[in-house]
Chain A
């Protein structure tokens, strides 16, 4: 494993400029690459996917001055190559404690459930009333045509509904996870 080289601001800007000359477009590409790396590492290793994804990004950024001289092609493919390599490395090496999920002190499961409950309650208040109600109806129960009826009520397709719900739920999950890491619900 490489040294913990940190991605500083300059290195990050260099990385973005390699992804795209337009900074806004580069930022979007970066987010997509990072999100994709998290998914790939999630399915190809037992370790913390986010940390591995950041490791991949660090490795690429660290070598960027050399890469830019010789590499021709979509930068995303380069990231993918590094991801495959890292996945293989981790399959062969003993896992470091810092990357083994749950190796830190695990709170009592009941306490954790309570905390999650309180965090959810707190984070739900950050949603608009309509989004909260949408989330509630979508997840509340398993009526056979619940989602179909919900889509019809809103005048959208079920496909659009799934995407809309997902875009409500993702920030909600992040809020809950952040709250749980802090250990107390954000009021």
Chain B
């Protein structure tokens, strides 16, 4: 019969008489104070009786067991109990009905989760949660990496669409673009941050972004804003750039008109 040798090695050795004598006193003193150890010793004795009876012990273990455990009437009594139990069940008539044992839903769990250690179960649940989040993170990260190329366009303020065909900013978006980076050219500025509001030609606000900052580029000082491509369908748009002046107020810095053409 297989058992976990690591756990009850000393106990098993004690029963067989192969234990380290230096640790014997400590072990025996523990038997007087540790209920669980006492019980474990009895369990190991039962298992060794079983192994002895079924021939699972090695030759040397058999000899030791006979010399140490079976030398007393009490030890032999244990063996007789096992033999009698086996005979009893072997002689039960075939018609003797077996009592069905209650089946637990936990039988579907792996062995280590069927344990009664809450620490183990919590650790396993925590590990699963970490794995799920790690997986989600990886998926989201891959999705962001898999976005199409960003298309940049520079807008110059002040050009307002004129029905008469006055020139306005044109943003010609190639296919397969997920993000349109609008670089809003501005003059000298001392604002700490900016807010962008995007309107359709009909005046409907379809996108806003705040806490933007100005940056110096080759074309001058710009405020950049990334607009999801699906928002800017073919058509005309107006973009307002503002900066906060106080807690609840802001002033317009610039306005931009542009036409989106999809290739």
Contact = CB atoms under 8 A, between A and B. Distances in A.
A74 B33 contact: yes
B57 to A, nearest CB: 13
Contact of B99 (A49, A130, A160, A166): A130
B88 A117 contact: yes
Interface size class of B (residues with CB under 8 A): 35 or more
B252 interface: no
B203 interface: no
A170 B78 CA distance: 11
B32 A32 contact: yes
Interface in A35-85: 35-37, 39-40, 42-43, 46, 48-49, 74, 76-77, 79-80, 83
A134 interface: yes
A88 to B, nearest CB: 14
A122 to B, nearest CB: 11
Given A40-B31, A162-B47, A166-B39, A133 B89 contact: no
A159 B77 CA distance: 25
A42 B74 contact: yes
Contacts of B6: none
B93 to A, nearest CB: 13
A96 interface: no
Interface residues of A, number: 59
Contact of A32 (B1, B35, B71, B107): B35
Interface in A154-177: 154-160, 162-163, 166, 169-170, 173, 176-177
Contacts of B25: 80
Contact of B109 (A101, A142, A155): A155
B102 A130 contact: yes
B114 A170 contact: no
Nearest to B44: A162
Contacts of A153: 101, 103-104, 107
B48 to A, nearest CB: 13
A101 B82 CA distance: 20
A158 B165 CA distance: 86
A46 B72 contact: yes
A16 interface: no
B47 to A, nearest CB: 7
Max chain A Cβ within 10 angstroms of own Cβ: one of B71, B74, B78, B87: B74
A166 B29 CA distance: 23
A71 B155 CA distance: 95
A116 B32 CA distance: 31
Contact of B107 (A39, A76, A155, A173): A155
Interface in B56-77: 68, 71-75, 77
A80 B30 CA distance: 10
Interface in B188-236: none
Interface of B: 1, 4, 14-15, 17, 25, 28-29, 31-35, 38-39, 41-43, 46-47, 50, 54, 68, 71-75, 77-78, 80-82, 84-90, 98-107, 109, 111-112, 114-116
Interface of A: 28-29, 32-33, 35-37, 39-40, 42-43, 46, 48-49, 74, 76-77, 79-80, 83, 101-102, 113, 116-117, 120-121, 124, 129-130, 132-137, 139-140, 142, 147, 150-160, 162-163, 166, 169-170, 173, 176-177
26 contacts: A32-B33, A32-B35, A36-B32, A37-B32, A42-B75, A43-B68, A48-B74, A49-B72, A49-B74, A74-B33, A117-B87, A120-B84, A120-B88, A130-B102, A133-B99, A133-B100, A136-B98, A137-B101, A152-B114, A155-B106, A155-B107, A157-B114, A160-B114, A163-B43, A166-B43, A173-B78
